[in-house]
Amino acid sequence: MKKLITAVAATVALGLSMSASAASKPYFDKLDADGDGYLNKAEYRVNLDRYFAKKGITDPVEKDRRTDNGFKKKDTNKDGKISFEEMNAKK
């Protein structure tokens, strides 16, 4: 169990250092709280909240704006949810 936690923590750290939202599959699955294989906006927000905390972004309007922008950018097929492939698409 400890090994798994370490791996997830390393993945999160790596994801944050490379990009605000790049994610490994285990991390993606963790974000996918309802387990449907996609991230809705609320699930995506959980990912961004870590980034906001790290960057010291606390303004709720700014956070909503960045969440909306990021979500739209990631959701390339515009179906209102982000697949693992969309999450990791290089843009």
Interface ranges with Ca ion (CB under 5 A): 32, 34, 36, 43, 75, 77, 79
* Torsion of the alpha carbons at 85, 44, 67 and 82, rounded to the nearest 10: 30
Q: With beta carbons less than 8 A apart as the criterion, state whether 1 and 17 touch.
A: no
Q: Which is nearer to Ca ion, 48 or 75 (CB)?
A: 75
CB of 35 to Ca ion, least distance (A): 7
Q: Which is nearer to Ca ion, 43 or 70 (CB)?
A: 43
CB of 61 to Ca ion, least distance (A): 25
**DSSP-assigned letters across all residues of 58-80:** --HHHHHHHHHHHHHHH-TT-SS
CB of 18 to Ca ion, least distance (A): 21
